Amino acid sequence: MMAMDLIKRNKTVFGVAFLYLVLFVFSPEKAFASVNNSVYYLAEMFQVLPVIFLLTVVIEALVPKKTIMNSFGEGSGWRGKVYSLILGSISAGPVYAAFPVCKTLLGKGASITNIVIVLSSWAVIKVPMLANEVKFLGVEFMAARWVLTVGAILVMAQITSKVVKIKDLPKDERQDEERVVEIKKDYCVGCGICARMLPEYYEINEKKAKIIAEGVKNSDMDILLKSAEECPTKAIVVNG
Amino acid sequence: MDIFTILFWVIAVALFIVSLIKNRQKTFDAMKKSKGMMKNMIGEIIGVIFLIGFILTMVPPESIKDFLGSSNAFISTIMSAIVGSITLIPAFVAFPLVGSLVDAGASVVPAVAFLTTLTMVGVVTFSLEKKEFGLKFAFVRNTLSFGFAVFIALFMGVVI
C-alpha cells in the first residue's frame, strides 16, 4: 500500500525510470546516449535551483504582500505587465525554475495575467538568448520575433485570465489569510502524531487528521511548522 | 555558468543576506516553506530532465531539417511547431542550427514556429506545470502558446 502510494505520488520519476530500464535492456547505446544528453540539463538544474530557492525565500520574507499586490496584483494594470515582462526576461534558468517563483508570487496576491506573462517571458524572451539569436539569425529577425512574441504573450495572458480563475488553481496556491494550516486528505494516513503533539489544533476523525482550531496564534507558528515536519507523509501544509 | 546566471546568483545571495539581517525569524520560516515547495518539485524535475535526454536521443535536433525542408509550407510549419513543443534544445544549439538552415534556403515560417514552440510550449514539463498550477491553467497556457507560435511564424513570413 505504502509502495503504491509512493509510486502514485511520483508518477513521472517512476515512469521515466521504467522507460530507462526497458531502454537499457533493449538498446544500451541509446540509453547511455540519453543519460549523456540529460547531464547538461542536470548541471543546469544544479546551477539554477539554489538561486530560485533563495529568490523565493527573499520574496516570501522580505517583500510585503501589499507590494506584490500593488506591483503584480489584479489592479496593477500596465505597470504590472511591464514588471512581469522584465522579471521574466532578466531571470536565468529553464522554465520549470519559474514555477516556484510564480507560486510564491501567486501566494502573495499576484494576478493570473501577470503570472502568465512571467512564465511565458521567462521561457521565450531571455536576454542572453536574444544575443544568440542576433548572432545566428540577424538583428531584424530577432527584433521582429521579439515584438511579435511580446504582443502574443500580452494577449495570451489576457485570454488566460478570462478563462482561468484563482479558484481553478490547486488549493495551496490560493491566498487565504485564515487557513494557514491545511491537511492534504489524500496523503494523510491517520497516524495521529499531529493530534498527540498538538491536541488543541488537530484531531483524528474517521482515520484522517482534521484541523479543529479556528485560526492560528502567531506564537504557535513554530510548533505548527514542527508538526508539519513530523508528519510522516507530509500531509500537513503550513503557510504563513 | 554564463554571465547572466552568475549575476542572478550575486543578486539572489545579496538579497538573501539583506533578508537575514532585516528579519532572521521570518527568513527562516520562509526557508522552511520554500524547502517544502522545492522538495515537492525536485523529483518531478529530475524525471523531466531524464525524459528530455531520452527525447533528444530519439528525436535529435538535426531531425528538424526533415520538417523545415518539406515542400508543403503548411504541413512543415505545423510539424515544426509540434517538434518544437516536444523537444527542449538549448538555445545555443537551436539558433545556430536554425540559422544554418535558413541560410541554406529553408523557409522562415516553419523555422520561427519551431524556435517559438521550443521554449513556449512544454509537453515534457506539462505534468509539472499541471501539478503546480492545475490542469486548466497548464492546458490553456500551452494551447494558446502553440496557437500563437504558429501565428507569430506566419506573421514573420510576411515581415521578413
Q: What helix, strand, coil percent values describe chain B, rounded to 5?
A: 85, 0, 15
Best of B119, B123, B124, B154 to substitute, by most chain A Cβ atoms within 10 angstroms, is B119
Residues B92 and B41 in one domain: no
Question: Nearest CA to CA, how far is A57 from chain B (Å)?
Answer: 5
Residue B67: which of B58, B81, B79 has the closest Cα? B79
Residue A178 has pLDDT above 60, yes or no: no
Domain count for chain B, please give it: 2
Lowest average pLDDT, out of A47-56, A135-144, A205-214, B52-61, goes to A205-214
Q: Quote the pLDDT of residue A172.
A: 60
3-state secondary structure of B19: helix
Compute the distance between CA of residue A177 and CA of residue A185 in angstroms, rounded to an integer.
20
Q: Give the 3-state secondary structure of chain A.
A: CHHHHHHHHCHHHHHHHHHHHHHHHHCHHHHHHHHHHHHHHHHHHHHHHHHHHHHHHHHHHHCCHHHHHHHHCHHHHHHHHHHHHHHHHHCCCCHHHHHHHHHHHHHCCCCHHHHHHHHHHHHHCCHHHHHHHHHHHCHHHHHHHHHHHHHHHHHHHHHHHHHCCHHHCCHHHCCCCCCCEEECCCCCCCCCHHHHHCCCCEEEECCEEEECCCCCCHHHHHHHHHHHHHCCCCCEEECC
Residue B15: which of A159, A59, A50, A129 has the closest Cα? A59
Question: Binning pLDDT at 50, 70 and 90, where does residue B159 land?
Answer: confident
Is A137 in contact with B159 (Cβ distance < 8 A)? no
Residues B97 and B158 in one domain: yes
- On the CB side of B96, CA atoms within 13 Å amount to 3
Question: Binning pLDDT at 50, 70 and 90, where does residue A168 land?
Answer: confident
Residues B103 and B36 in one domain: no
Residues B50 and B64 in one domain: no
Domain count for chain A, please give it: 2
Q: Quote the pLDDT of residue A84.
A: 95
Residue A176 has pLDDT above 50, yes or no: no
Domain boundary among A145, A173, A201: A173
Residue A67 has pLDDT above 50, yes or no: yes
What CATH number did the domain enclosing A193 receive? Answer: 3.30.70.20
Q: Quote the pLDDT of residue B44.
A: 86
Is the Cβ of B99 closer than 8 Å to some Cβ of chain A? Answer: yes
Residues A117 and A156 in one domain: yes
Question: Binning pLDDT at 50, 70 and 90, where does residue A155 land?
Answer: very high
Q: Quote the pLDDT of residue A156.
A: 96
Residues B64 and B54 in one domain: no
Of A12, A51, A155, the CB nearest to B127: A12
Is B96 in contact with A93 (Cβ distance < 8 A)? no
Domain boundary among A139, A154, A173: A173
Chain A residues whose beta carbon lies within 8 Å of the beta carbon of residue B88: 41, 94
Specify if A3 maps to a domain: no
Query: Which chain B residue shows the shortest CA-CA distance from A87?
Result: B8
Q: Quote the pLDDT of residue B104.
A: 83
Enclosing domain of residue A232: 181-238
Compute the distance between CA of residue B12 and CA of residue B18 in angstroms, rounded to an integer.
10
Residue A196 has pLDDT above 90, yes or no: no
DSSP A188-218: -----HHHHH-TTTEEEETTEEEE--SS--G
Average pLDDT over residues A174-202: 77
Q: Quote the pLDDT of residue A177.
A: 45
Residues B69 and B140 in one domain: yes
Task: Give the mean pLDDT of chain B.
Answer: 87
Residues A57 and A80 in one domain: yes
Residues B41 and B101 in one domain: no
Q: Is the dihedral of CA A128, A129, A133, A136 positive or negative?
A: positive
Enclosing domain of residue B19: 1-58
Q: Quote the pLDDT of residue B146.
A: 95
Chain B residues whose beta carbon lies within 8 Å of the beta carbon of residue A28: none
- Which ipTM value was assigned to this complex? 0.89
